[in-house]
Chains A and B, each alone.
Chain A
Amino acid sequence: MYNVAEVNAEECVAQKGCRLCIMYCPEANCIQLDTSKMKAVIVESRCKGCELCVVVCDAAKHQAIKMVAR
């Protein structure tokens, strides 16, 4: 089992300009901005499951990311 991050598009406020998880994810090219929906999306194959995205998203009170088992 391996934990990866998952964005709940309904809670994500990237359309309002939030980029916190994209800025702070330690892995390159791992969280992308879906420019048609304007939501953050995780590239699961690059996610190391560190949970830093959850920390920064929660701290900003968006609570749009949770860890899921794969």
Chain B
Amino acid sequence: MGKKIQINKEFVDIMPQDYLDLVETGTYESPNRGWKDFGTATELIAEHSLCAGCPESIAFRHIMASIPNPEDTVMVGSTGCTSLVFPMIAVHNIHSLFGNQNAIATGLKRALALRFPDRVKDVIVLAGDGATVDIGLDMTLQSWFRKERFTTICFDNELYANTGGQESGLMQKGFLAKMAPVGKKFEKVRLPEIARESGCDYVAVMTASKPSLVEKVIKQAVLIAREIGPTYIQIYTPCILEIGKQSMEGLQEMRTSEAPGERFKFREFISPEAQSFLDGLAEKKKAEKLAASEATS
């Protein structure tokens, strides 16, 4: 059991079982936490109201299993389907007014650095494409221009899911949706490229089809944001409801959309500073492994 996360002894007998499980078998303070904990450790998400089979739920699980420092992380959410999950996660989080998430995260990150100068505090924004690219675009870009040190994750389902399927900047050209019946006239906004040009030190485009890849990308993005500069992850979480898929078809939809030449084929941009930081981490890990194997032999 971790030292930072404890229950006051006086309250143990009145705490719900789910809470006790989190404290006993949650993965706070576990240096190697990741998707491999699934099935045996208590995850940091409780029951929420997203649709059955929603890929946003899959992505959320993979992300919550992977963030490197959950006990010292504050997440910032925004309006949209993701906001139905935030009240059910076991990490501090703030719900911001639709679109304001990167402005809130900026103030929060700076305040945490002043309040806890000796402690690592990570800030992670997680919001839909409408919040990130349309209504919040000003706040998103300004935070990158200022090189604010936090991670921005966009759950890109290419439309406004929570309000019934309106057009979004990240919707594909020509796409028809329930509340966008004439088809989109413009190209999908190239936010990953804009992120790179706007000051992000790390950018990744992906789907949630491989938990090991989500884990790797999330860890890199959070660590680079902690030490170097802003990071951005755009992850395809198709809204099965609005694109007319069955509840069990979300995974296949993600796999199809990440094939070579498709719009969510995995790609990442890493700045030279971020790359040398990652190289340093890899060196350190190698040295630790060597020392460990020498100690046992």
A-to-B contact residues, CB < 8 Å: 19, 22-24, 26-29, 31-33, 35, 40, 46, 48-52, 54-56
Contacts and interface: CB of A to CB of B under 8 A. Distances in A.
Contact of A54 (B45, B211, B248, B250): B248
Interface string B47-76: 100101111011011001000000000000
Contacts of B53: 26, 48, 50-52
B236 to A, nearest CB: 15
Interface string B17-51: 00000000000000000010011101111110010
The listed residue with most A CB atoms (<10 A of its CB), out of B39, B53, B57, B252, is: B39
A51 B46 CA distance: 20
A28 B40 contact: no
Contacts of B40: 32-33, 35
B43 A29 contact: yes
Contact of B248 (A40, A46, A50): A50
Nearest to B47: A46
B276 interface: no
Contact of A29 (B42, B247, B250): B42
Contacts of B42: 29
B233 interface: no
A33 B40 CA distance: 6
B38 A22 contact: yes
A19 B39 contact: yes
Contacts of A28: 43-47, 57, 60-61, 64
Given A51-B248, A52-B247, A52-B251, A26 B55 contact: yes
Given A24-B58, A26-B58, A48 B39 contact: no
Interface residues of B, number: 27
Contacts of A23: 35, 38, 211
A40 B40 CA distance: 10
A19 B38 contact: yes
A17 to B, nearest CB: 11
A49 B252 CA distance: 17
Across chains A and B, which 3 residue pairs bring their CB atoms closest together, nearest first? Answer: A50-B53, A48-B52, A26-B57
B251 A56 contact: yes
Nearest to A41: B39
A15 to B, nearest CB: 13
A38 B295 CA distance: 32
A26 B50 CA distance: 10
Contacts of A54: 248
Contacts of B47: 27-28, 46
Nearest to A45: B47
8 contacts: A22-B38, A26-B250, A28-B44, A29-B45, A50-B247, A51-B247, A51-B248, A56-B251
